[in-house]
Amino acid sequence: MDGKAAPNGVATIEDRILRITGYYGYYPGYSSQKREEGTQTHTESSSQEAEGQTRCQSCTSTFLKLIWRFLIILSVSSSWVGTTQFVKITFETFDCPFFMTWFSTNWNIMIFPIYYSGHLATAQEKQSPIKKFRECSRIFGEDGLTLKLFLKRTAPFSILWTLTNYLYLLALKKLTATDVSALFCCNKAFVFLLSWIVLKDRFMGARIVAAIMAITGIVMMAYADGFQGDSIIGVAYAVGSASTSALYKVLFKMFLGSANFGEAAHFVSTLGFFNFIFISVTPIILYFTKVEYWYPFSAVPWGYLCGVAGLWLGM
């Protein structure tokens, strides 16, 4: 045989050698065309395998993101429900909504340390607390956090934060937890309306219809009890809380832009410091004027207050 294809389908010597070696380049007499065909087939096979691995990794990444988002939503919802129930129980023995708001807001100071602990646990390149703090301070500007920016940027957001939570607690004193939670969800409609007016966001017909329906729901809930008594006052408190919450979110977007997780944690901790330094005088005044008075000190339900504050961190 001369290396050509044998008749009647009999394999040539070259094919037998290739079948044994498994590599076309081992036999020098083999034609270059067959070697190119083998190389091309191998390249196509590798390309298909790489494409399959990329798709698999993409699907896995998408699935993990969905799971993570679901867990975040579940955590926030659980914290919201738990906070509302804890507040209702606390009001049975401790009727001091502003003190509860002030006490819970002070816990915001722990947000940045918690974030930094997560950074140490997950980041490959560790940063010192001071370096990480300065990096996250860029949310206030290129110069970082200065005394002027601390007062200018933090004060209005701290006031809105306190008003949102204080009005929400007042609403819980007048209405059931279910009604207050439903009314507060209208803040999404208020965010859309304010974003359209202040931030000049794109007008979307479906969202404006949703906002109108949300406002209609508020009116219907108030009408259910005849626009009188504690019901209408509770509705006003809940709507006021939703409005200040929406204003807080829109102003945050307007002045501070899109913050990453570290910058947001830094900002919330800064709000906690501002609350502790400047707002602390308010519960003291309310105590001595006996607007919010508790005595003896041991009668304060610290367990429930810590539960409210801890759950509020997850919201």
Classify residue 18: in a domain, yes or no: no
What pTM was computed for the model?
A: 0.75
Say how far apart CA 155 and CA 244 lie, in whole Å: 14
- For residue range 215-243, list pLDDT tens digits in order: 787 777 666 666 566 788 888 899 899 99
Classify residue 236: in a domain, yes or no: yes
Q: What is the DSSP letter of 123?
A: -
Amino acid at 186: C
Classify residue 281: in a domain, yes or no: yes
Helix axes 205-223, 187-197, angle to 10 degrees: 130
Q: Give the containing element (helix H, strand E) for 291.
A: none
Phi/psi at 28 (5° precision):
-65, -25
Classify residue 189: in a domain, yes or no: yes
- For residue range 267-311, list pLDDT tens digits in order: 999 999 999 999 999 999 999 999 998 877 788 888 889 988 988
Structural domains counted in the chain: 1
Classify residue 45: in a domain, yes or no: no
Instruction: Determine contact, residues 56/278, Cβ cutoff 8 Å.
Output: no
- For residue range 24-80, list pLDDT tens digits in order: 444 444 445 544 555 555 555 566 666 666 777 778 878 888 888 788 778 877 888
Other CB atoms within a 10 A radius of the CB of residue 301 amount to: 16
Instruction: Determine contact, residues 129/116, Cβ cutoff 8 Å.
Output: yes
Say how far apart CA 217 and CA 238 lie, in whole Å: 13
Classify residue 38: in a domain, yes or no: no
Classify residue 13: in a domain, yes or no: no
pLDDT-based confidence at 257, cuts 50/70/90? confident
- Domain range for 255: 61-314
pLDDT for 24 equals: 45
Q: What is the DSSP letter of 108?
A: G
Say how far apart CA 47 and CA 129 lie, in whole Å: 45
